[in-house]
Amino acid sequence: MVSAIHREIKGLGTSKLHLLLQSSLKKSEIKMGRDKLHRLLGDRGMLIRRKRTVPKTTNSCHWMKKYPNLIRDFTIDTTESVWVCDLTYICVGYDFSYLSLITDAHSRMIMGYCLHQFLTTEGCLNALNMALQARNKRNNNLIHHSDRSTNTVVFNM
């Protein structure tokens, strides 16, 4: 019965499978709970293994220029002298969205952010534009640093 259901509905878990089998089990006078069904399926190698897809946010093998790390020996003693940026993914339903953050390294205040559907430069640029508009000290030099020093740039504004 399980094989027939799996042919029709691929990827069905034990709980839903148990619900579908309830009437057939009662007709056959078989008493079997969900956990016993799970053990039985496991013993027979019939469990469905879920493949978790985790998106990658860092691509270290790219063709773009890798800038030197300007903040390695830099003392951060004032706000808006160094901004660090990072990307992370957020699960939204069955899909992922990517959050780009620009953070002031001294105050740890988030200066800009963008939640974008795709992992493209558009989300990062939107976060950077938001941060630049929120900037108070416009005449000071600013270092913008990202993962693995790939986008460390100095802004003279």
Nearest to 3 by CA among 60, 44, 50, 51: 44
**Do 148 and 88 share a structural domain?**
yes
Nearest to 115 by CA among 98, 93, 101: 98
Domain containing 26: what range?
A: 2-43
Separation between Cα atoms, residue 103 and residue 144, nearest integer Å: 10
In a domain, 15, yes or no: yes
Per-residue pLDDT 10s for the chain (157 aa) are 888 888 888 778 888 889 888 888 889 888 889 999 999 999 988 888 776 666 766 666 777 777 777 777 878 888 888 899 888 888 877 778 889 999 999 999 999 999 998 888 899 899 999 999 988 887 778 888 876 544 445 555 4
In a domain, 72, yes or no: no
**Do 86 and 28 share a structural domain?**
no
SS3 content of the chain, % helix, strand, coil (to 5): 30, 25, 45
Separation between Cα atoms, residue 68 and residue 137, nearest integer Å: 24
